[in-house]
């Protein structure tokens, strides 16, 4: 696989288009590996409400201990030349501390302080662009985890499946063979999203990166593609937002343990919705809330999948009553007749369920839109990890 023939350019750190107002590279100074930010963590960047940030995110696949912690060597076994392995992945694997027995696998970038964000507010994160950084990824069933615990993987070994990306009829696809060593004849379209988007918890200990919660984190909701929005309840001053766990594609459930994991360059816009405006628009929001062009998507989470389902139903009822004023028994009937409840994932210690409530169904009911805090005047602060522009010669 050469860059000339690759279906996407290799986006090494700082190379290529960086559309955000700010840029945060993935470096030992800007990432955590296996843990999420908490209240005592220092921000790597401070921005105003309404500004955007381009993050280089790094997949954990290919850098983990049981994969050798040498991504160039690991991906070479799958025919990837050294120049098509990301330099930041190599640096993180070699120099960022992680306890493989106590920490999660995910690399998260941040945190970012958003001025004017206070506990009780909502942080609105709009996903503007998600650009693949490499033309390949990995899907894993490892450490006896996944939906079929005790059945797969067979024996004591871990299974990590390499998947090259190809372009078919102008659309990027992940590809797989029918048998090991075969031609990649199975193809599925990419739908990139970030599995992890969150805000810092109001505690002095960094949470494990795997289980999601009210702070967001590893929510693994595949609806969060370009053009969608995530609302998160702010836990600490400045929100201290972070991103990671990039995916090229994932089925609801993520049953084998991981999706098609691969690094993305993500540009996100951050806006603060003050507490009063948030309640007027959505009622009380106590956990992650997704908005797509078609749906409002409340969530429910619990180690028990049945309990996660019940939590999602309660969140849906609260949203419908808070936004549209619909009586509880009528909202319950509506959900039963018209709303799909999907399993986000069942492999992250805490299972997730999300509901898809069609906003068009309520087009005849008045509702308030969430009004963001006005952007602060003055020049934007510069990121310590890079500017928002790159030399002209580095742009493909």
Residue recorded with tokens 């799958």: 78
For residues 93 and 375, the model is more confident at: 93
Q: What is the pLDDT of residue 184?
A: 96
Torsion of CA 324, 126, 133, 33, to 10 degrees: -90
Question: How many residues are listed for the chain in this entry?
Answer: 396
How far is residue 248's CA from residue 78's CA, in Å, rounded to a whole number?
18
Q: What percent of the chain clears pLDDT 70, i.e. is strictly above it?
A: 93
Kindly indicate the confidence band of residue 376, based on its pLDDT and cuts at 50, 70 and 90: low
Who wins on pLDDT, 6 or 335?
Answer: 335
The domain ranges of the chain are 22-132+190-273, 294-362
Examine the pLDDT at 140 and tell me if it is beyond 50.
yes
- Give the per-residue pLDDT at 389: 37
Query: Do 127 and 226 meet the contact criterion of CB atoms below 8 Å apart?
Result: yes
Please state which architecture CATH assigns to domain 22-132+190-273. Answer: Sandwich (2.60)
Residue 251: closest CA among 188, 297, 293, 204: 188
Angle in degrees, CA 44, 191, 391, rounded to 5: 45
| Out of 62-66, 150-154, 242-246, 312-316, least confident range | 150-154
* Tokens 């503007």, located at residue: 128
Residue appearing with tokens 């808070």: 322
Beta carbons of 37 and 206 less than 8 angstroms apart:
yes
Mean pLDDT score, 159-165? 96
pTM recorded for the entire structure: 0.93
pLDDT on residue 5: 55
Q: What is the mean pLDDT of residues 300-304?
A: 98
For the chain, what is the mean pLDDT?
A: 93
Is the pLDDT at 155 greater than 90, yes or no? no
pLDDT per residue as tens digits for the range 92-119: 999 999 999 999 999 999 999 999 999 9
Which CATH number does the domain 294-362 belong to among 3.30.230.80, 3.40.50.2020, 3.40.630.10, 3.10.28.20?
3.10.28.20
Whether pLDDT at 64 is above 50: yes
């Amino acid at each position: 696989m050469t860059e000339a023939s690759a279906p996407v350019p290799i986006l090494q750190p700082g190379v290529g288009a960086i559309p955000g107002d700010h840029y945060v590279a993935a470096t030992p100074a800007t990432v955590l590996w296996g843990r999420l930010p908490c209240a005592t963590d220092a921000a790597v960047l401070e921005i105003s409400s309404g500004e955007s940030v381009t993050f280089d995110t790094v997949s954990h696949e290919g850098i983990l201990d049981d994969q050798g912690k040498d991504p160039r060597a690991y991906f070479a076994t799958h025919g990837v030349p050294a120049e098509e392995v990301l330099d930041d992945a190599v640096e993180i694997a070699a120099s960022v501390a992680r306890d493989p027995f106590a920490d999660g696998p995910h690399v998260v970038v941040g945190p970012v302080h958003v001025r004017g964000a206070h506990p009780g507010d909502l942080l609105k994160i709009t996903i503007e662009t998600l650009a693949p950084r490499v033309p390949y990824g990995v899907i894993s069933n490892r450490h006896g985890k996944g939906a079929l615990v005790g059945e797969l993987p067979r024996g004591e070994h871990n299974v990590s499946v390499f998947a090259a990306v190809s372009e078919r009829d102008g659309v990027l696809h992940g590809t797989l063979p029918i048998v090991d060593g075969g031609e990649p004849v199975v193809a599925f379209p990419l739908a990139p999203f970030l599995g992890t988007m969150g805000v810092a918890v109001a505690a002095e200990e960094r949470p494990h990166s795997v289980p999601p919660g009210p702070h967001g984190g590893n929510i693994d909701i595949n609806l969060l593609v370009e053009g969608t929005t995530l609302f998160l309840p702010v836990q600490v001053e400045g929100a201290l937002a972070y991103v990671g766990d990039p995916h090229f594609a994932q089925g609801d459930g993520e049953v084998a343990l991981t999706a098609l994991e691969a690094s993305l360059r993500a540009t996100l816009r951050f806006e603060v919705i003050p507490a009063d405006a948030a309640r007027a628009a959505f009622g009380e929001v106590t956990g992650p809330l997704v908005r797509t062009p078609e749906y409002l998507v409340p969530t429910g989470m619990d180690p028990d999948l049945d309990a996660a389902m019940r939590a999602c139903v309660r969140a849906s009822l609260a949203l419908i009553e808070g936004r549209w004023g619909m009586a509880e028994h009528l909202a319950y009937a509506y959900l039963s007749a018209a709303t799909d409840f999907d399993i986000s994932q069942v492999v992250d210690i805490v299972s997730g369920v999300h509901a898809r409530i069609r906003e068009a169904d309520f087009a005849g009911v008045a509702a308030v839109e969430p009004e963001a805090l006005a952007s602060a005047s003055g020049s934007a602060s510069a990121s310590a990890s890079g500017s928002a522009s790159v030399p002209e010669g580095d742009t493909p």
